[in-house]
Structure 1
Amino acid sequence: MIRAPANIRDTGKIPANAIDSAEGTPSTTVHIMPDYLGRTLGYAAMAAIMIAGIADGVHSVWLFGMAGFAIVWPHLAQLFSLDARKRNSSTIRQHLLLIDSAISGAFIGSLGLISISAAAIALMMMVTCFVVGGLKQWASGSLILSAAALTVFFLFNPGYAITLPPVADLLAVIVAGVYICATALFSHQQAKALRHATLLIQAQREQSIALSQKLSKYMSPQVWQTIFTGQRDARLETQRKKLAVFFSDIQGFTDLSEEMEPEALTDVLNHYLNEMSQIALKHGGTIDKFVGDSIMIFFGDPTSRGQRADTLACVSMAIDMRKHMKILRQKWRSQGIKTPLQIRMGISTGYTTVGNFGAENRMDYTIIGKEVNLASRMEHLAQPGEILVTHEAFSLIKDSIMCRDKGEVTVKGFSRPIAVYQVIDHRCDLGRNRSFMEHEHSGFTLYLDSEKVNENDRVAILQALDEAASRLRHQRD
């Protein structure tokens, strides 16, 4: 008849080992109040009220059978629903509660509807329905209880209402009070346990976020995002895609390594790779790997904006890297590094095989194919500060990027000569209206991108240029 609210674990609290040692997940199976205990309590009260009525001569002796059923039913319900609860605990709990509503209604009808005992039983039933299943369960339980009560009342007690002895009413009130208090106590314990579980889950979530952020530093952000969002599985699989492939290295880095201590050289290299990585990510490139001072980047996977846009983004990235090297050289010169470091870059566009390569327990997300080799060959052919692209890449960017035809060259691993083009600059940045200016001489470096200068900085820059021009004129005179 009377059921306990939904539960989390029989003990009513989270044990010390609520976090699973293997999985690290907080337990979410704490019981508020065991169904079996609540149902047994309610039906015991029903049996006691019946027996009190029979002893006072209000009820017929045949109701001993109903009292016996009230004592046995909780045990039968627990036994028959044990396996079903393991499969779908919530559904079975709600179905049993509807059966309890029908039985409670029949009992209330036999009491004559208006007795204090009937009201107490109805109160316990409604509280349980509302706590377990909310408003919907309360409405269903109320409807079934009312229908059963009216049916039994008009079938067996037409035209009069039964008044139970005071002892039976007192017993019903006591049982109802105890049950409601127990429900409130267990509800409080559940709320406390859930708050504790929430804190554990929050702590685990923050720990997982911190761990994932650490792991993200070992792979490209695009690849990391597709794995952690479930878009891609960590298994050995590849596909053919048309990508723009980029290679670069530092000309003069080997000579520099002979002049500097390893610690200082490491700082220079890490600073360079960090600056270049920021530029690559700004343009949407997937950073494949660092090999010493060499960088390998590709565009078009895991996400692609189309072959033309991917190739244009790759070349634009290379131009920005070349421009940014002037700033880095000036900074390194101020640190006493006199070797004029330059980068050379090669770009190729074509079909490659991209995906996870390696072993089941150690994978590397990378690309292979002749276009990868060709981009590497372009990088080796480039002069310091030069960007070389293949004919396929040139055909996709020629409307936006000014390039110079350098003819055909024979490269290792390719039987036919390869058409090579030198990247000059964005067409919009050429001529008198170009936004970018750069000049570099001994004792003087100018790097200006007028599109990025705001109005406040413009005044300060003009003042600095006027002061510099005044000093130069004064020295000449």
Structure 2
Amino acid sequence: MASMKPHILVVDDTPDNLFLMQSLLEDKYDVRTAASGPEALELVRTNAPDLILLDIMMPGMDGHEVLRRLRLNAKTAAIPVIFLTSLNSVEEEQTGFDLGAADYIAKPISPPIVLARVHAHLERSGNARRLQALSDKLSRYLAPQVVQSLFDGSRDAEIRTQRKKLTVFFSDIKDFTASTAKWQPEEIRFLLNSYFSEMSRIAYDHGGTIDKFIGDAMMVFFGDPETRGVKEDALACVRMALAMQRRMAELQVLWRELGSDKSFEVRMGINTGYCDVGNFGSDLRMDYTIIGAEVNLAARLQQAADPGGILMSRETQSLVRDEILSVEQQPLIAKGFPEPVKAYLVEADAMASSRKVFQWERLGMRVLVDLDRLPEAERAAAARELRQMADQLH
């Protein structure tokens, strides 16, 4: 069974110092030792410790260089490092702190100081990991942007709203209830979860704030808590919708390849306008969301869209028309709106670029290429294999 003790790496080129530190720490911690910088980096690569006690003055690669390399690697950048050194000048300490050292312990060492500082830094880094884990869990229930703003202090957990011009997106699956009435629950769960996972990733990549899932529907908005400007927010939203429809077509191919004969089509609506955005609810339970007539209009556009289509309002179209092709539709009679609503269909050609899944199928031949799953480093080899197959056909 693996040790549950915190894991400490001690790095020093003097055997007596390594023996002393291991003897001092091994009752409470899982201690490993390294006699050089390269050996330490290799040990960290294979099994990252919770804390490193690092000598500065070592031949070949000194402690400063070891710390530089640790901080350049995303997997090791957060490991706390305490320097063990007989160098005690202010300049020397400043150099270490600038590199990212957590602390200094002067030689000759004092065992009580070593134990106290090791304990303090392990507890601090443990708290940081727990906070990060909590943040990761919360971001599964709240928009990641909202979680980040709560943790960095830019947003408070209090009932407060503001008026902002946002771009609002709605999507749903056409005739989902009727289409899935005879499906097995496992099939519904698999397709719906994989669909939402892919759409959520696309929304996040484009900077959208995922408001909620309502059955088979999805609501996303742009412009809060972060904004790039009203026009750029609108462009990001339409580009997100295009990416979602492209991915939806690719998912249908992949689902068939996995042996499923079930599928569905998605319709989408987009509108830009002033909304109330913020925390709504009570002192005990709040919901970060948006409300207003402009939100309702996005939902009405989505309901009026054809399967596989994207309808946007006149306001959104005026913001994106220089970069997004669209065709004006017959004005919509929308529930809750006294006047007919102008609507624009995003051109299908705008969705044809940037394909990620290619499939060729005929009697005796079936080829499927999914660029999202094919690593960049392997694409050249895959291209050679396709050319070899083509040569064999001749």
Does TM-score exceed 0.5, indicating one fold? yes
Shift of 1:340: 4.0
The equivalent of 1:399 in structure 2 is 322
Aligned to 1:299: 222
Structure 2 CA distance for aligned equivalents of residues 447 and 317 of structure 1: 23
Residues 313-328 of structure 1 correspond to what in structure 2 (within 5 A)? 313-328=236-251
CA distance in 1, matches of 2:357, 2:329: 24
Cα drift, residue 445 of structure 1: 8.9
Stretches of structure 1 lacking an aligned partner (at least 5 in a row): 1-133, 136-186
Distance in 2, Cα, partners of 1:353 & 1:469: 61
Contact kept in structure 2, 1:403 and 1:422, CA below 8 Å: yes
Distance 1:368 1:466, change over 3 A: farther
Tell me, in whole angstroms, the C-alpha distance in 2 between the residues paired with 1:389 and 1:358.
30
1:219 aligns with 2:142: yes
User: Deviation digits for residues 38-86 of structure 1, max 9, x if unmatched?
Assistant: xxxxxxxxxxxxxxxxxxxxxxxxxxxxxxxxxxxxxxxxxxxxxxxxx
Distance in 1 (alpha carbons) for counterparts of 2:136 and 2:176: 31
TM-score under structure 2 length normalisation: 0.64
Q: Residue deviations 1:335-388, cap 9 Å, x none?
A: 443244111000000000000011111111000001100000000000100000
Distance 1:216 1:222 in 2: 8
1:253-332 alignment to 2 at 5 Å? 253-332=176-255
Cα distance in structure 2, aligned partners of 1:370 and 1:363? 21
Per the alignment, residue 119 of structure 1 pairs with: none
Report the CA distance between 1:461 and its aligned residue. 4.4
Does the 8 Å CA contact 1:250/1:293 hold for their aligned counterparts? yes
Instruction: After TM superposition, list the pairs within 5 Å mapping 1:456-471 onto structure 2.
Output: 457=379, 460-461=382-383, 464=386, 467=389
Partner of 2:30: none
Counterpart position of 2:151? 228
* Amino acid in structure 2 at the alignment position of 1:217: R
- Counterpart AA for 1:231: S
What pairs with 1:141-152 in structure 2 (closer than 5 Å)? none
Match of 2:120 among 168, 176, 197: 197
| Alpha-carbon separation, structure 2, partners of 1:455 and 1:210 | 31
Matched, 1:344 2:344: no
Aligned residue among 224, 235, 250 for 2:173:
250
> Does structure 1 conserve the Cα–Cα contact (< 8 Å) formed by 2:270 and 2:311?
yes
Percent of residue pairs bearing the same amino acid type: 44
Q: Are 2:333 and 1:388 equivalent residues in the alignment?
A: no
**Shift of residue 244, structure 1, vs aligned partner:** 0.5
Superposed displacement of residue 455, structure 1? 9.6
Does the 8 Å contact 1:438/1:445 carry over to 2? no
Q: Is the contact made by 2:159 and 2:283 (CA closer than 8 Å) also made in structure 1?
A: yes
> Within 5 A, what are the aligned runs for 1:28-47?
none
1:297-325 per-position Cα deviation (integer Å, ceiling 9, x unaligned): 00011111111110010000000111111
- CA deviation after TM superposition for structure 1 residue 389, in Å: 0.2
Aligned residue runs from structure 1 range 122-161, under 5 A? none
2:130 to 203, 207, 229: 207
- TM-score with structure 1 setting the length: 0.53
Give the direction of change, closer, same or farther, for the CA distance of 1:190–1:446 in structure 2 (3 Å limit): closer
How big is the shift at 1:198? Answer: 2.8
Of 419, 427, 439 in structure 1, the residue corresponding to residue 342 of structure 2 is: 419
The size of the alignment, in residue pairs, is: 285
User: What RMSD over aligned residues (CA atoms) do the two structures have, in Å?
Assistant: 3.5
Contact kept, 8 Å, 1:330 with 1:445, in 2: the verdict is no
Considering fraction of residues, name the structure with more helix: 1
> Hey, what's the Cα distance between the residues in 2 that align with 1:470 and 1:405?
49
Aligned: 1:375 with 2:295: no
Task: Read off the aligned partner of 2:220 and give its amino acid letter.
Answer: I
Distance change (3 Å), C-alpha of 1:447 and 1:201: closer
The secondary structure found in structure 2 opposite 1:232 is coil
> Which ranges of structure 2 fall in alignment gaps of 5 or more residues?
1-88, 91-109
Q: Which whole-Å CA distance do the structure 1 matches of 2:375 and 2:315 have between them? A: 35
> Distance in 1 between the 2:111 and 2:290 partners?
58
Larger radius of gyration: 1
Deviation at 1:293, TM superposition (A): 1.3
CA displacement at 1:391 relative to structure 2: 0.3
